[in-house]
Structure 1
Amino acid sequence: MPEIKEYLPSKYEPLLPDANWAKLAKSKRNLHRALSVPHPSDIEDFLISKTDNLVIESGYIEHCKSAIQALYRFRHLSNLEYKSHIRELSIQSALIVSELRAIGRQRRVITQDMQEVLLRNDDINAAYMNAIIGKAAIAPGKELDRKYMSKQLRKLADDFYAGKRVTALETQGYCHALGWTMYDEVTATHLVPEGLDANAIAYLFGTTNINIDEPRNTLLLHKNVGKALNTGFIVIVPDSAPGEEVKWKLIVTDTDFLDETVSPGVTWNALHGRELKFLNDNRPAKRYLYFRFMMTYLMIKRHGQLNWIREIETVRRPWSIPGEYLDRSMLLSLARNVSGSILPKRFYYGMTFKASFRLLSPWGEIHEDLEICLADSILMTPDYRDPETVYCGSDNGIDGHDDRDGDTGSDKDSDESFTLIS
């Protein structure tokens, strides 16, 4: 018989009124029965079964709440005990509701992520547990400010990628491009960045909701490398043929700056073409990496025929890993609105899906409005060529000069060192 989390301590059951006890016992039997059924091996059937089980579990928690309220009414619980139990049950209920919403609103991307995990491990429940990480809302009761979210995302990314270690001397963070370095020098860098229109992004990925603060939407990168990714100075591309194990490499999009310093002793030339190294089997989602690739292409394309643009447009297969990543019609519209040009077919053929129906927008927005909103938010994203953008290879600006008066001293960055991976 499967174990059920003890939402209501068993010591309270004999104290319950008969009506409450009967309802609670029936609900508990239903949950036992549901959890005893073997998991379906098909992803779609598994998600249906998982949804049904979560609904039953949510109902069981509601009966536990009713039982706690009855115990309080009959003075078997103090006010403090009552509030403590109700708060804990409410938190558990909110987490289940959040998971149900994630399955309902992000089914396409959860399915994609489960498929990725099942290529390495045929345990479908383990695949689900891996895929759901970060997709449900964070624990209730926390203020959703960006500082808190950033801290939570870093912890999720560290756990997901095994990116934190404590040595005898210091705590170190792992950068997928550079290796181990000081912990505070590494950031969980978004692939789909903050600041883009949330409703439009969800539509582009074929869902009604996307949580960008999930670890699959990140790479662990040194802060200068992360800044370079955010501003289009570098891009991450697949370095594998279809059917091969996927490897990822870093490409500098403007080779005029290869001799610039990323950090003391490391230049962009050392990173150009470098394979990203991972410490475990977890990887960022291909759909997010493809989006970042396309966003970078469109951001740079609007400035004209730069070297990387000319190079990538002559390649037969600019993105070598096929998959149904983005909505085709929306991507094509995005290309026109951001770069002012028509997207060549080889950039999207085999990498997009054609929606068989139009998602009904719960926000009351039409498809064209979402396209415009997303294009506008990308156009407002600074890139490394913008004069006001801090250059990703230094703390000073694209020409390496600091225009500030006064302090020209170095900071702690001058002391940092990397354990480079060859």
Structure 2
Amino acid sequence: MAPARQSALKTSRQRSVSAVSRLSERSVQSTTSDFLDAKLSELESDLDYIRCVRDGLNEARQAEVIAHEEFQRRIYPFLQAFRASSQTIHVAKRQRRLIIEDVDENVDTKHQPIEGPVDQGLLERAYRDVMIPRVLSASAKQKFNQSAFKEKVHNYYGVNERCAPGYSWCHVFHQVLPEKYVKAAYLVPRSMTAKKISHLFGVEDGVLADPQNDKSKNENIVGYKNNAYIKLKSIDGKALEFITNNRPRQRYLYFCFIIAYLNAKSQGANDAVAKKVEATRFWPSGGEYLDRSTLVTLARCVSGSELPESLKDNTFDSGDNSTRDADAGTVLGADVRDACSASYLAGQN
């Protein structure tokens, strides 16, 4: 990393270490509220350090000081750590009063002497016992009922009215198929709650696109129609066909396209991908779908590269290029990479 960035990292790390030191040196007379404030200060210092690492790695990647693979390997643990600390801070601030009450109760039940200073080790263990289940609960993935979700999708798009029981409508192939061959899928990964993507979206018809532009897959067989096999190249750029007037929201289709592009870049797709996207107006529908500053950070965290200017056409400027937007992009970066990894593993099984 550049000397200026190394100096910034050193300063940031010293602040983080100082925060930990201050926490350990808290007066035994400190209240649980004081202890929680010190914990939050420590976590905020950790976030500052990770922000500095994130920016340094991005600078090194753009300057080609480190290779693509090295960037991917080094940044991912920091994205996960950033998300974990962010979740803990959010829970601690939102449930502050209840957390303090529960920590005090835990201390009492662990045989803390009625009189005398609070054992800081005891306070630390009580805090940990209270926070761990809360953070896990806040970040837990809810069970997903594929059948119930598919039924809702069918009802919304009028599939149940068009198809006999046991069959479904394929919007890609424009034909009725046995239900087992058609899967309902989220355009936005389920792990991303509405709260997580609120910064990105700020608050019709689509077309298929192949952002990877991987010609080696053009001959892959993806279906069967009229006694003939359907190859991937025959549906690239093909318009989706709907039964009713209901359509997926364009902003979600655009987000799905962006994630496919970033995933291709993260997998080491060559420069031909970016050149094709930059040379053409890849997304045919007009609209300001995603927050620009959050999306730029997301792109850097997922792919280690800048978002092509052509893909910024469908973004809006919130006028607040703040740390908060960059933080949202960093957390989403961890979510997207997790979702892409899960999707890849599912495809291998």
Give the structure-1-normalised TM-score. 0.42
CA–CA separation in structure 2 for the residues paired with 1:385 and 1:199: 22
Match of 1:342 among 295, 303, 306: 306
Aligned residue runs from structure 1 range 342-421, under 5 A: 342-349=306-313, 351-356=314-319, 366-382=324-340, 388=345, 390=347
Q: For each residue in 1:25-75, what CA deviation from the matched residue of structure 2 results, as whole angstroms up to 9, or x when unmatched?
A: xxxxxxxxxxxxxxxxxxxxxxxxxxxxxxxxxxxxxxxxxxxxxxxxxxx
Sort the Cα spacing of 1:372 and 1:201 in 2 relative to 1 into closer, same or farther, 3 A. Answer: same
- The equivalent of 1:119 in structure 2 is none
- The equivalent of 2:277 in structure 1 is 312
Superposition deviation, residue 378 in structure 1: 1.2
Q: For each residue in 1:335-364, what CA deviation from the matched residue of structure 2 results, as whole angstroms up to 9, or x when unmatched?
A: 122121222222112x122224699xxxxx
Does residue 174 of the first structure (1) align with residue 137 of the second (2)?
no
Provide the secondary structure at the position in 2 that maps to 1:189.
coil
CA contact (8 A) 2:211 2:260 kept: no
Provide the secondary structure at the position in 2 that maps to 1:187.
coil
Aligned residue runs from structure 1 range 18-97, under 5 A: none
Provide the secondary structure at the position in 1 that maps to 2:248.
coil
Q: Identify the structure with bigger relative contact order (alpha carbons < 8 Å, sequence gap 6+).
A: 2
- The equivalent of 2:184 in structure 1 is 188
Superposition deviation, residue 314 in structure 1: 2.0
CA–CA separation in structure 1 for the residues paired with 2:182 and 2:259: 23
- The equivalent of 1:276 in structure 2 is 240
- The equivalent of 1:8 in structure 2 is none
Q: Which amino acid aligns with 2:236?
A: H
CA–CA separation in structure 2 for the residues paired with 1:176 and 1:250: 14
Q: Which has the higher strand share?
A: 1
CA–CA separation in structure 1 for the residues paired with 2:288 and 2:162: 39
Aligned residue runs from structure 1 range 128-139, under 5 A: none
Superposition deviation, residue 318 in structure 1: 2.3
CA contact (8 A) 1:165 1:171 kept: no
> What 5-or-longer segments of structure 1 have no aligned partner?
1-143, 208-215, 217-245, 360-364, 397-422
Provide the secondary structure at the position in 1 that maps to 2:172.
coil
Aligned residue runs from structure 1 range 223-372, under 5 A: 248-251=207-210, 253=212, 254-264=214-224, 265-302=229-266, 303-305=268-270, 307-315=272-280, 317-349=281-313, 351-356=314-319, 366-372=324-330
Percent identical among aligned pairs is: 28
Provide the secondary structure at the position in 2 that maps to 1:158.
helix
CA contact (8 A) 1:262 1:268 kept: yes
CA contact (8 A) 1:165 1:173 kept: no
Sort the Cα spacing of 1:252 and 1:331 in 2 relative to 1 into closer, same or farther, 3 A. Answer: closer
CA–CA separation in structure 1 for the residues paired with 2:217 and 2:292: 34
Provide the secondary structure at the position in 1 that maps to 2:300.
helix
Q: Which moved more, 1:183-192 or 1:150-159?
A: 150-159
CA contact (8 A) 1:206 1:327 kept: yes
Sort the Cα spacing of 1:262 and 1:307 in 2 relative to 1 into closer, same or farther, 3 A. Answer: farther
Q: For each residue in 1:361-395, what CA deviation from the matched residue of structure 2 results, as whole angstroms up to 9, or x when unmatched?
A: xxxx9444322110111122336996x4526xxxx
Sort the Cα spacing of 1:195 and 1:339 in 2 relative to 1 into closer, same or farther, 3 A. Answer: same
CA contact (8 A) 2:207 2:240 kept: yes
Superposition deviation, residue 288 in structure 1: 0.3
Provide the secondary structure at the position in 2 that maps to 1:195.
coil
Sort the Cα spacing of 1:252 and 1:163 in 2 relative to 1 into closer, same or farther, 3 A. Answer: farther
Provide the secondary structure at the position in 1 that maps to 2:168.
strand
Sort the Cα spacing of 1:385 and 1:314 in 2 relative to 1 into closer, same or farther, 3 A. Answer: farther
Provide the secondary structure at the position in 2 that maps to 1:156.
helix
CA contact (8 A) 1:251 1:272 kept: yes
Number of matched pairs: 202
